[in-house]
Amino acid sequence: MFASLRLGAVLFFTFISQASAQGSLTNVTVDDASPSVRYLNGWSPGPSLYIQLDTSKLFNGTWHDTTHYTQDITTKEMHVNFTGVAVYLYAVIANQPSGKPFDAFADYKFLLDDVVVGEYRHEVEDTTDFFYNVPIYVNTTLPDKEHRFSVLIDSTEKPVLMLFDYLVYTTTQ
């Protein structure tokens, strides 16, 4: 009987310490319209002339878009600073088989604390559908500190379109 009480106590304290080691993880969503997103070199809130999205499928109904042309001198950039252990970036991916009336190729570079950590590419598919809520960059192994997250678009291969919807980060607070 004492043995099982002791086992129960051990299990109980194991449970408590695991719960506190994980802290309480909380997701924070940063909408594209949030003032904590910094856009550089030519982004605008949707809709644009050719791109009208289904706002019911977007986080809070909004998005930001940009097109980077191969001859552009400046890089299209967006930056978000956050403190946390994970980050998830969600975009809308466009398709446009003929390349008209807009370019829909995706090629984005991701940086954490100014170091390139990933890239997302998508060649247009044979459909005019938009793909919503696409997690284009996920990192769940960040050290728990302040991070500077950046997206850079600088392709010299062909024009790149980005439709940014929202970002989620996970805090231990």
Ligand X SMILES: *[C@@H]1O[C@H](CO)[C@@H](O)[C@H](O)[C@H]1NC(C)=O
- Note the residues at the interface with ligand X (CB under 6 A): 25, 27, 31, 38, 60, 79, 81, 88, 112-113, 117-118, 139, 141-142, 148, 168, 170
d(CA 64, CA 128): 19
Nearest CB to ligand X, comparing residues 70 and 172: 172
Nearest CB to ligand X, comparing residues 95 and 139: 139
Q: CB of 18: closest distance to ligand X in angstroms?
A: 15
| Structure tokens belonging to residue 13 | 């304290």
Phi-psi region of 113 (alpha: psi -120 to 50; beta: other; left: phi over 0): left
Distant-in-sequence contacts of 16-21, Cβ < 8 A, 24+ apart:
none
DSSP state for residue 113 in the 8-state scheme: T
Q: CB of 2: closest distance to ligand X in angstroms?
A: 38
Nearest CB to ligand X, comparing residues 98 and 141: 141
Nearest CB to ligand X, comparing residues 4 and 140: 140
Q: CB of 157: closest distance to ligand X in angstroms?
A: 22
Nearest CB to ligand X, comparing residues 89 and 153: 89
d(CA 102, CA 116): 28
Q: CB of 112: closest distance to ligand X in angstroms?
A: 4
CA dist list (Å): 172 to 17, 22, 25, 97:
15, 8, 5, 44
Q: CB of 30: closest distance to ligand X in angstroms?
A: 8
